[in-house]
Amino acid sequence: MSSTPAIHITGDEAADRVLAEDPFALVVGMMLDQQYPMEHAFRGPAKVLERFGTLDPARIAAADPEEFASVCATPPAIHRFPGSMAARLQELAALVQERYDGHAERLWTEATSGKDLLKRVQALPGFGKQKAQIFVALLAKQLDVRPEGWEQAVGDYALEGYRSVADVVDGDSLQKVRDFKKAAKAAAKAKTAG
């Protein structure tokens, strides 16, 4: 039996197992991580798997958009904006199918450097520079995917501490990341107000 790296982001053992065992699930969880609590976003792939029966990118990309949106909106929904996220998920699945033959892990196993990996992740729908940096940091810190130059590519997200979902390994670290984000938001708000 191969040892699958343990991921503990969601607070739900079954949802975390899906993230650990399916590279596409991890990419989907990261995509959903916006304007939504991170542990709920990363539970999204398990909900899709349970309701749709598969996380196969080809099947998701080929699904009827209205039916797939309905699957994603069924309470508890995969996101607070289930319709737009369902469409983005199908777009992501289509890209992974087209560029990587449905194998999301090829995003990182074929990357030639940290810079290349960051560029590949930024090409995904819903991944701006910051989200791509966080995902590359998550791959490095939790899956030991560390192409040369990954630290430079992700900037401060490579540092020790509790800056992002890349640093979440249990409930305690989840709270520390929340506190960090709250403090950073307050500091940014104070700076613009001053």
Non-local CB neighbours of 59 within 8 Å, separated by 6+ positions: 52
**pLDDT beyond 90 at 181:** no
Non-local CB neighbours of 55 within 8 Å, separated by 6+ positions: 18, 22, 24, 25, 28, 45, 48, 49
Q: What is the per-residue pLDDT for 3?
A: 56
Distance of alpha carbon 74 from alpha carbon 183, whole angstroms: 34
Eight-class DSSP state of 2: P
Degrees, nearest 5: CA angle 83-12-39: 50
**pLDDT beyond 50 at 1:** no
Q: What is the per-residue pLDDT for 193?
A: 82
pLDDT digits (tens, 9 = 90+) for 55-113: 999 999 999 999 999 999 999 999 999 999 999 999 999 999 999 999 999 999 999 99
pLDDT digits (tens, 9 = 90+) for 125-153: 999 999 999 999 999 999 999 999 999 99
Of 102, 103, 72, the closest CA to residue 88 belongs to: 72
